[in-house]
């Protein structure tokens, strides 16, 4: 039976000595999480498709005294994920924390107007990409005595959103993937949890807030009557990465301003 953490360790939000890999880290929620992890003492590996964007984030982290490695990678590719994890392991010695944040949404409109190629692209990144990266990191986590996987889902995985059907289905799959792996990996002390953000002001969600009319419609769905900043998601991810959540696995955590419990117009 694993040793119970000392009281001071059990409540710590520090990540000193930990190696964290964050996908989709070049902007938005992924960048905010990577910066929070680095500030908490982790060495952070940043992954996304574009090296130049990653380099800018890594430089910003280093300027604040943090440790960061930028690795361009495509999580929709088996070879790309293998090369990514190999590079992180070579540079840092392994992986303790994985944040699956990379996502795509190539279709917008009624789901019956979607093309199979759009389904394939969405699933290859949003679901299979998460699975690929987890599978690649598990051997290192097991060898290091355990770890934490944080899958970024969405309120779209729990409630249908107009025009985003394919994306909704993929994010619902992320929630079940989290529960299945939370159960299966617990024996290796690898915890798997999901974060369920609502509307967050990022480039990815710009269609929901850039236009004033769209923004007002969006706000009517959120009881707190505002859209979150990416930096507001990072503390929850930090909790799930840290020993403060050592007894938490297979769970989903909403951070949505009350959207999923609210009634439009209230």
Q: Is residue 219 part of a domain?
A: no
Q: Is the pLDDT of residue 177 over 80?
A: yes
Q: Check 92, 123, 130, 167 and give the catalytic one.
A: 167
CATH number of domain containing 243: 3.40.50.720
Residue 29's domain comprises 9-198+230-255
- Number of domains the chain is built from: 1
pLDDT of residue 12: 84
**What integer best gives the mean pLDDT of the chain?**
92
Q: Is residue 225 part of a domain?
A: no
Q: Is residue 82 part of a domain?
A: yes
Q: Is residue 264 part of a domain?
A: no
Per-residue pLDDT reduced to its tens digit, 90-126: 999 999 999 999 999 999 999 999 999 999 999 999 9
Q: Is residue 245 part of a domain?
A: yes
Question: Which stretch of DSSP H or E encloses residue 46?
Answer: strand 43-48
* Active site annotation includes 130: no
Q: Is residue 118 part of a domain?
A: yes
Per-residue pLDDT reduced to its tens digit, 121-150: 999 999 999 999 999 999 999 999 999 999
Average pLDDT, stretch 6-13? 65
Range 163-166, long-range pairs (CB < 8 A, 24+ positions): 163/108, 163/109, 163/110, 164/105, 164/108, 165/107, 165/110, 165/111, 165/114, 166/105, 166/107, 166/111, 166/114, 166/118, 166/119, 166/122
Question: Which stretch of DSSP H or E encloses residue 102?
Answer: none
Q: Is residue 135 part of a domain?
A: yes
Q: Is residue 1 part of a domain?
A: no
């Amino acid at each position: 039976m694993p040793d119970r953490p000392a009281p001071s360790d059990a409540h710590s939000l520090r990540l000193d000595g930990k190696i964290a890999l964050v996908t989709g880290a070049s902007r938005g929620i992924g960048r905010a999480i990577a910066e929070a992890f680095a500030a908490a003492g982790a060495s952070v590996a940043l992954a996304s498709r574009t090296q130049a964007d990653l380099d800018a984030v890594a430089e910003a982290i280093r300027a604040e005294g943090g440790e960061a490695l930028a690795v361009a990678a495509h999580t929709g590719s088996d070879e790309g994920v293998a090369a990514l994890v190999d590079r992180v392991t070579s540079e840092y010695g392994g992986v303790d924390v994985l944040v699956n944040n990379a996502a795509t949404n190539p279709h917008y409109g009624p789901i019956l107007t979607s093309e199979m190629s759009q389904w394939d692209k969405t699933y290859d990144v949003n679901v299979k990409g998460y699975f690929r990266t987890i599978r690649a990191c598990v051997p290192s986590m097991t060898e290091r005595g355990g770890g934490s996987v944080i899958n970024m889902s969405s309120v779209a995985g729990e409630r249908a959103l107009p025009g985003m059907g394919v994306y909704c289905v993929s994010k619902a799959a992320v929630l079940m993937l989290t529960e299945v792996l939370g159960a299966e990996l617990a024996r290796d002390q690898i915890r798997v949890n999901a974060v369920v953000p609502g509307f967050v002001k990022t480039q990815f969600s710009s269609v929901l807030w850039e236009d004033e009319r769209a923004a007002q419609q969006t706000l009517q769905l959120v009881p707190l009557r505002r859209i979150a900043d990416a930096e507001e998601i990072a503390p929850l991810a930090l909790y799930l990465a840290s020993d403060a959540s050592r007894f938490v696995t297979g769970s989903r955590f909403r951070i949505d301003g009350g959207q999923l419990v609210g009634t439009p117009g209230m």
